[in-house]
Amino acid sequence: MGREIVIGLVGKPSSGKSTTLNSLTDANAKVGAFPFTTIDPNKATGYLEIECACKRFKKEDKCKPNYGYCRNGKRGVPIMLLDVAGLVPNAHLGRGLGNKFLSDLTEADCLIHIVDASGSTDAEGKATRGYDPLNDIEWLQNEIFQWILGNLKEKWGSVKRRHIATKSTTLETLRQQLGGYVANKQLIANALDLIPNLPPLQDWDDEMLEKVVWAFMEIKFPTVLSLNKMDHPDADKNVSKIILKYPKSKAILTSSITEVFLRKLASQNFIKYDPGTEFVDTKEDLPDDPNLRDLDEKLANRIENIRDLVLYRFGSTGVVQLLQAAADLLQLIPVYPVRNINNFTGGNGDQVFRDCILVKKGTPVINVARKIMGDVTIAHIETIGGIKVSEEDTVDKNKNDILSFKLVPGSRT
Ligand X SMILES: Nc1nc2c(ncn2[C@@H]2O[C@H](COP(=O)(O)OP(=O)(O)OP(=O)(O)O)[C@@H](O)[C@H]2O)c(=O)[nH]1
Query: Are 145 and 214 within 8 A, CB to CB?
Result: yes
The DSSP symbol for 307 reads I
Under rule CB under 5 A, residue 226 binds Mg ion = no
Under rule CB under 6 A, residue 257 binds ligand X = yes
Q: Tell me which residue of 317, 295, 298, 297 sits closest to 306, measured CA to CA.
A: 317
Closest contact distance (angstroms) between CB of 29 and Mg ion is 6
Among 25, 38, 146, 321, binds Mg ion (CB under 5 A): 38
Nearer to ligand X, 135 or 411 (CB): 135
Measured between alpha carbons, how far is residue 412 from residues 368, 374, 376, 409 in Å?
17, 9, 6, 8
Closest contact distance (angstroms) between CB of 230 and ligand X is 7
How many secondary structure helices (H) and strands (E) does the chain include?
Answer: 14, 14
Nearer to ligand X, 63 or 311 (CB): 311
Measured between alpha carbons, how far is residue 403 from residues 42, 252, 303 in Å?
33, 33, 45
19 binds, among Mg ion, ligand X, none (CB under 5 to 8 A by kind): ligand X
Nearer to ligand X, 256 or 404 (CB): 256
Strands of 108-149 (E only): list them: 110-116
Residue type, 4: E
Nearer to Mg ion, 38 or 146 (CB): 38
Under rule CB under 6 A, residue 263 binds ligand X = no
Under rule CB under 6 A, residue 255 binds ligand X = yes
Within 194-292, residue ranges assigned H as helices are 206-220, 235-245, 256-267
- Please give the residues from 79 up to 98 whose contact with ligand X meets the rule CB under 6 A: 85-86
Closest contact distance (angstroms) between CB of 362 and ligand X is 34
Q: 357-385: string of b/e by CB count within 10 Å (b at 16+)? A: bbbeeebbbbbbbbbbbeebebeebbbbe
Beta strands at 272-273 and 280-281: parallel, antiparallel or unpaired: antiparallel
Query: Are 136 and 11 within 8 A, CB to CB?
Result: yes
59 binds, among Mg ion, ligand X, none (CB under 5 to 8 A by kind): none
Convert residues 217-236 into a mask of x (bound to ligand X by CB under 6 A) and - (unbound): -----------xx-xx----
15 binds, among ligand X, Mg ion, none (CB under 5 to 8 A by kind): ligand X
Convert residues 58-77 into a mask of x (bound to Mg ion by CB under 5 A) and - (unbound): --------------------
Closest contact distance (angstroms) between CB of 295 and ligand X is 22
Nearer to ligand X, 16 or 334 (CB): 16
| Burial (CB count within 10 angstroms: exposed 0-12, middle 13-18, buried 19+), residue 329 | middle
d(CA 214, CA 268): 47
Under rule CB under 6 A, residue 36 binds ligand X = yes
Nearer to ligand X, 135 or 343 (CB): 135
Convert residues 178-207 into a mask of x (bound to Mg ion by CB under 5 A) and - (unbound): ------------------------------
Q: Which residues in this chain contact ligand X in the complex, by CB under 6 A?
A: 11, 13-19, 31-33, 35-38, 85-86, 125, 228-229, 231-232, 255-257
Binding site for Mg ion (CB under 5 A): 17-18, 37-38
